[in-house]
A = this chain, B = another copy of it.
Amino acid sequence: MENYFTILIDFIGTFAFAVSGIRLASGKQIDWFGAYIIGLVTAIGGGTVRDLLLGIRPFWMLDSRYFLITALAFIAMLLLKDQLVKWWNTLFLFDAIGLGLVTIVGISKSIDAQLPFWVCIVMGTITGSVGGLLRDVLLNEVPLLLRKDIYALACVAGGLVYFTCQYFELSVPLTEMVAASVVITVRILAFRLHLHLPVLPSIQSQKEK
Contact = CB atoms under 8 A, between A and B. Distances in A.
Contact of A27 (B133, B139, B203): B203
B31 A152 contact: no
A66 B197 CA distance: 23
A31 B138 contact: no
B37 A152 contact: yes
Interface in A69-83: 77-78, 81
B147 A200 contact: no
Interface in A105-143: 115-116, 118-119, 122, 133, 137-143
B61 A119 contact: yes
A60 to B, nearest CB: 8
Copies in the complex: 3
Contacts of A61: 53, 115-116, 119
Nearest to A37: B146
A57 B113 CA distance: 11
A52 B27 CA distance: 33
A197 B33 CA distance: 7
Contacts of A31: 146-148, 196-200
A7 interface: no
Given A26-B204, A64-B118, A203-B81, A32 B198 contact: yes
